[in-house]
Amino acid sequence: MATSRSEASAVKPSLRKDSPGPPFGRLLIANRGEIAVRIIRACRELGVETVAIYSDADARAAHVRLADSAIRVGPAAPADSYLRIDTIVDAAVRAGAEAIHPGYGFLAERAAFAAAVEAAGIAFVGPSAAVIDALGDKLHARRTARAVGVDAVPGTLDPAPIDRPDQVAGIVAEAERIGFPLLVKAAAGGGGRGMRRVATAAELPAALAAGSHEAASAFGDGAVYLEREIAPARHVEVQLLGDSTGRVVAIGERDCSLQRRHQKLVEEAPAPGLTRTERAELHDLAVRVAAAAGLQNAATAEFLRAPDGRFYFLEVNTRLQVEHGVTELVSGIDIVREQLFLAAGQPLSEAVLDAAARAAEPASHSIEVRISAEDPGRDFAPTPGEVRRWSMPSGPGVRVDTALEAGERVPPEYDNLIAKVMVHARDRDAAIDRLRRALDETEIAGIQTTLPFHRFVARAASFRAGDLSTGWVGEHWDGAAEVARAARTAQRTAGLAVLAAGRGAGPDGGMLAGPVADAPAGRPAGVPASGPGGRQRGDGAARDGAWRQAGLADAVDRWPR
């Protein structure tokens, strides 16, 4: 018999996954936004009570409303709320939580947070503090990879001696051995912080100093190292799960090559173009590194694929990834659910073991785009503000993970990700077709988003051909040119609206001249809120929706202004 939510707090971790009890009675979610909502949904299906935390900026947020209870942890600034280890652990203790899920970002990969959770007698849903500490240091991870015979990207294995002027000649010589161009990279953290590209030996000392300073500010650790730049390269990562018995498996890989400033924009599973043998070998490399580090719970091993097809180890992310959903769709595994049972001390489930056995021969394809409050026409500049219209796609094979609704504000204090649109189909071509359809259904007004960029990707011939690399965005996307093109098509669409209506006014009686202010991205100027293909409302407006369909095809990428 299923356990009710009110009874769940009395249930202790079950001994077997097929037993009626949930893995925990009550769980605190140390995060916000769509990932907090995602975790709440997994817990609700298992009968686990959830406790949300929130800052003043999130008092009315979706994750607060959906959780069984919620606790304020501070003002809007992350340093005073979502990054306060002591406040969050105290909240969990006061709430009687048996476990804490960190989501991703914020404290998810902070060994100090995991250690504090463990010290409080609460289960941490993720790798242990020791594993986070070991693999969070990229140099340690590189040394671990070498120890088990996995090639890392060529580079140094120890921090650069930036505070030793007498060793500058030595580090320059090491850089010349690695080969230019190369990258200065932070030993702790990621996301491009602390990273500097170096083309010549003369640039190296300044790049080391600047990279170290930024790394210290971002991560509290100024250690940096050198790594060869591999270009063109594909960024491919492997989803891993491990249990307390020491068993680690891979349940699939994802291609995350489409990036800007080392931030992922599009992810897909499986990675296109790999053979069964290549997949099996890649999965084995990832498992070897993770097993050597004693991984338990979920993690992702990241690799670069060189032009010659060789894979080089990059790092391990000891947390749930933003893009975990595409692997869930292809593998059939609810990764968050598995995380909860693994944190309760249970072994890998039969479903996970079956998925691992099938991982080298995936039978379907999934693609995710990250819709963010950013302007792709202005180098992806942040665009926080109020969302006035919010219509997400649906239909066969479409999944949307979001916590946003019309009328809500995207706060400037947090990450700009506002929705993840995922599609799932029998193969990659069908998935791209479905993605294009889903994005054409999407309507957002009030703020600029990355929707025009994603529509561009879904229609790009090189993307469909699988011609992917980490330099793809810079090579194919010209934001300023796309803005100009969109403005022209918006004016043309406005003219079509006037002709179709048989008069010089739009559906609301206003003149249609140029791009209409705040018209939703994805709907041409003059198209009413009924959506593409619908009928205009009122006062002699055109009854034939054909012009709207044609206008949509021309102006789907237009920016709201």
The number of beta carbons lying within 10 Å of the beta carbon of residue 164 is 10
Round to whole Å and give the CA distance between 528 and 360.
47
Q: 116: which residues sit within 8 A by CB, 6+ positions away?
A: 85, 86, 89
Q: Measuring CA to CA, how many Å separate 168 from each of 162, 177, 223, 331?
A: 8, 14, 15, 49
Round to whole Å and give the CA distance between 405 and 395.
19
Round to whole Å and give the CA distance between 342 and 337.
9
Q: Measuring CA to CA, how many Å separate 277 from each of 283, 284, 300, 361?
A: 10, 11, 20, 9
HSE-up (13 A, CA, CB side) for residue 459: 15
Q: What's at 61, amino acid-wise?
A: A
Q: 165: which residues sit within 8 A by CB, 6+ positions away?
A: none
Round to whole Å and give the CA distance between 232 and 238.
20
Q: Which one of the listed residues 319, 434, 436, 455 is annotated catalytic?
A: 319
Q: 331: which residues sit within 8 A by CB, 6+ positions away?
A: 239, 251, 252, 355, 358, 359, 362
Nearest to 514 by CA among 523, 524, 501: 524
Strands (E), 56-180: 69-74, 99-101, 123-124
Phi, psi of 371 (to 5 degrees): -85, 120
Catalytic annotation present for 543: no
Q: Measuring CA to CA, how many Å separate 551 from each of 34, 344, 393, 459, 524?
A: 32, 54, 19, 17, 6
β partners of residue 443: 391
Active-site amino acid positions: 319
